[in-house]
Structure 1
Amino acid sequence: MRDIVRGHLGSEDAVGHLREYFGLDGGAAYTGARFEGLGGGGDRVGVADVVTAEDLVARVTGIGWVTTGKLLARKRPRLLPVYDNVVKCVLGRPRHFWLPLHTALRAEDRALHHTLLDLRKRAGVPETVSALRVCDVVLWMAHAKDHKAGRCAGHGTLSV
């Protein structure tokens, strides 16, 4: 998993994907670009430990594993990334996700974590967006169009 993540984060498209997603080049931002800031943020003091109306507006479409994960990521953006079917697919549908990601982020004196922070800075994304969110946005943007169009091999690589 670490090699797949690093491959996408190191691609020439990574900064462009972040800028496109957050609407930093003049285009419309994706809906999820407002995820961190809606209602002042899901992890702000006083609401970090409760589900609020803003949290439900941020992500409501049935409470399956993806929605539950998105709510948790909103509440703890520096602890959990958004993990959905697109990210799962681009990573090759791993049986385990959280512990391998944790290991990858801490390996080599936190090199991957520093890469994410550098990407955020180079893209001009606000510091309120966590390193984990940078990771999931880059992975999602790299694969969403192929995944949604059914041109997805699901083997941890992008279709070309």
Structure 2
Amino acid sequence: MPETLIDIVRREGVGHLGAYFTPGAYTGQWFETFAGGGDRVETRDRITLDDLYAVEALNVQVPFAVGRELLDGQLGRDISARLRKIPHDAELGTPGADELIVDGGHADQAWQLLNDRNKKTGIGWVIAGKLLARKRPKLIPVYDSIVSCQFAAPTHVWLRLHDRLTENGGDLRAALAEVRRTSGVGDRVSILRVLDIVLWRRHVKEHWRDKPTTCPQRGSVEL
């Protein structure tokens, strides 16, 4: 039977978060804070060179041609237009967040523009999500194949997470905040990122040891 997110967070969260933020352990520990963060006032509504470099801390790389288009081209202008419509402090699991992430919402539009593999600017769903998480860290989760595998690759992940964070009076949100506090990780790291780190660390070795489609932990976490 799949485990619940809150049980995993309460049981494993402090250990995984502490290990991840051990100095020098993972480059991803600088993703949120590199160059002042992607949501700092002066650059929160546009993709910058700092953002393109920051996502490399998460073991992905934006192709040069796409990066140039994001910095100086129409794609960058289109993404900026969507970002300006997303409040910088919008937070998943709070009122109004679902309107931004539903199909056709401003965050979904930005993700679709980045993920469009039918165009030369398409960078795929993983990098698209990581770039947007850099710009709106409280709203958009870092999400990759390792985390997706545990959920059995569902659709509408953002909305599902939104629902989990709101149910039962927000007990999952409270558990994530407590893990962050206990681990001594500053609140520049969002609770969404805390959840990503916990789920990523608990599965990364098994995921790459086995083929993802036959991974024994596929579908092991309830969403």
Q: Same fold (TM over 0.5)?
A: yes
Aligned to 1:66: 126
Residue number among 99, 106, 121 corresponding to 2:159 in the alignment: 99
**Residue 27 of structure 2 corresponds to residue 31 of structure 1:** yes
Residue number among 183, 189, 201 corresponding to 1:123 in the alignment: 183
Question: What's the Cα RMSD here?
Answer: 1.8
Residue number among 152, 155, 159 corresponding to 2:218 in the alignment: 155
Aligned-pair CA distance for 1:58? 1.3
Residue number among 47, 64, 84 corresponding to 2:43 in the alignment: 47
Aligned-pair CA distance for 1:157? 2.1
Aligned-pair CA distance for 1:128? 0.9
1:61 and 1:150 map into 2 onto residues whose CA distance is 27
Q: Which runs of 5+ in 2 are unaligned?
A: 56-60, 64-122
Residue by residue over 1:41-69, the C-alpha shift from the partner in whole angstroms, topping out at 9 and shown as x without a partner, is 00110111100101001122442210010
The answer to whether the 8 Å contact 2:141/2:158 transfers is no
2:140 and 2:125 map into 1 onto residues whose CA distance is 14
1:144 and 1:8 map into 2 onto residues whose CA distance is 15
Aligned to 2:202: 142
Q: Which runs of 5+ in 1 are unaligned?
A: none
Residue by residue over 1:71-103, the C-alpha shift from the partner in whole angstroms, topping out at 9 and shown as x without a partner, is 000100000110110110122222231111101
Counterpart of 1:5, as a letter, is L
TM-score (norm 2): 0.64
Counterpart of 2:13, as a letter, is A
The answer to whether the 8 Å contact 1:92/1:156 transfers is yes
The answer to whether the 8 Å contact 1:90/1:157 transfers is yes
Aligned-pair CA distance for 1:7? 3.0
Pair 1:98–1:107, CA change in 2 (3 A): same
Q: Which runs of structure 1 show a deviation greater than 4 angstroms over 4 or more consecutive aligned residues? A: none
Aligned to 1:9: 9
- Report 1:77-88 matches (<5 A): 77-88=137-148
Largest Rg, 1 or 2: 2
Q: Which has the higher contact order (CA 8 A, sep 6+)?
A: 1
Aligned-pair CA distance for 1:153? 2.2
TM-score (norm 1): 0.88
Counterpart of 1:6, as a letter, is I
1:94 and 1:7 map into 2 onto residues whose CA distance is 20
Count of aligned positions: 153
